[in-house]
Chains A and B, each alone.
Chain A
Amino acid sequence: DGGITQSPKYLFRKEGQNVTLSCEQNLNHDAMYWYRQDPGQGLRLIYYSQIVNDFQKGDIAEGYSVSREKKESFPLTVTSAQKNPTAFYLCASRVGTNTGELFFGEGSRLTVL
């Protein structure tokens, strides 16, 4: 079945460690996105990529990094520079037209101990 797969679903990290969240899609979508969700704050855009080997910062990119070496994959690294990394992270993809909807993965919950 076509869809978006995020892993791991739950992740625990010690302060000062970098961690990478995986996002893979087999929908042949051009655009991919990473959002952060915190209680009462809705979704905030971290990074997005419209084509392979290109990506743009979203509204809260500080302390995060991404790569887009393949169309299917858009991993997110949460670095030690991110001051408050505990959150629910959502990856999404889209065909590429402005009328098209986003398709979301199931999310990854990161907890910093």
Chain B
Amino acid sequence: GDSVTQMEGPVTLSEEAFLTINCTYTATGYPSLFWYVQYPGEGLQLLLKATKADDKGSNKGFEATYRKETTSFHLEKGSVQVSDSAVYFCALSDRDGNNRLAFGKGNQVVVIP
């Protein structure tokens, strides 16, 4: 079945550092891909999305490019702030009609001043 794999473990970095969170996927069709962010004690919010190969999603300084050849959708930000501290989830939605999303396990990001 469809699945999403995120890199293991939390990510700790200093303010203004470069952030990368890896995401790879397995899908039978041509999925849409999403990044969600979750702040402590809250629900998930959509951060960005891409619906076809080579599309780049961007929002709030974050970017991710849909790479079909490597089945990846890595999240990047050039200069993080303390307010970016949160949990980040990669997700996919396939076009097979079952209307389900598959989520990765999430990565805790901690930005230190």
Interface residues of A (CB under 8 A from B): 4, 6, 31, 33, 40-43, 45, 48, 50, 58, 90, 92, 94, 96, 98-107
Would A41 and B105 be within 8 Å (CB), given that A90-B43, A101-B34, A107-B43 are in contact? yes
* Chain B, interface residues (CB within 8 Å), range: 20 to 34
State how many angstroms separate the Cβ of A71 from the closest Cβ of chain B: 15
Q: Is A105's CB under 8 angstroms from B43's CB? A: yes
Of A43, A90, A105, A107, the most chain B CB neighbours within 10 A belong to A43
Q: Is A43's CB under 8 angstroms from B103's CB? A: yes
Segment 10-36 of B: residues with Cβ below 8 Å from A: 31-32, 34, 36
Interface string of B41-64 (1 = CB under 8 A from A): 111111001010000000000000
Q: Is A104's CB under 8 angstroms from B32's CB? A: no
State how many angstroms separate the Cβ of A104 from the closest Cβ of chain B: 4
Q: Is B89's beta carbon under 8 Å from chain A?
A: yes
* B96, closest chain A residue (CB): A98
* A94, closest chain B residue (CB): B99
- A104 contact set on B, CB distance < 8 A: 36, 43-45
Q: Is B105's CB under 8 angstroms from A90's CB? A: no
- B99 contact set on A, CB distance < 8 A: 31, 48, 50, 94, 96, 98
- A76 vs B67: C-alpha distance when bound (angstroms): 37
- A101 vs B89: C-alpha distance when bound (angstroms): 13
- A4 vs B83: C-alpha distance when bound (angstroms): 24
- B84 contact set on A, CB distance < 8 A: none
